[in-house]
Amino acid sequence: MNYEEIKITIQAALQLSTIQYRNETRVAFEVWAFRTAQIQNALLEEITRSEAIWNWYQNQYRKIEQRFYKENRDFLTGGFNPMEVFQVFRWMTKEIEDYYPATLINKLNNGQTVSK
């Protein structure tokens, strides 16, 4: 199954529209960015405006989506409670909060542009 099909399957299991799902992804990014800014002593606005960091985060998120699908396929198509499925999914996406792209963050801290 390709990535787009996986994403659609997850969205359907969570009973979220495309916009709602995108917003959930962005909220997770903002939480990650806030935590990273605190830990790395960086400006939150610089992190959230960086296209390179957003792309890095989306790549990490995709990996979680794919793993979530692989490990929970039966729950996604079995008519389980969407809130329970969402809790498992959100728990897995929180794993990203322990990682950050050190090189990109260091560039921000040194005043370099990391928009691409």
77-104 tens-digit pLDDT: 877 889 999 999 999 999 998 888 878 8
As a whole number of Å, the end-to-end CA separation of the chain is 29
Give the residue carrying structure tokens 């260091």.
106
CB atoms within 10 A of CB 37: 19
| Joined tokens for residue 106 | 């260091």
Average pLDDT over residues 105-110: 77
By CB neighbour count within 10 A (0-12 exposed, 13-18 middle, 19+ buried), where does 51 fall? exposed
Residue 74 reports pLDDT greater than 70: yes
* pLDDT tens sequence across 1-34: 899 999 999 999 999 999 999 999 999 999 999 9
Q: Is 37 helix (H, G, I), strand (E, B) or coil?
A: helix
pLDDT at 103 (0 to 100): 82
Cβ pair 37, 43 in contact under 8 A: yes
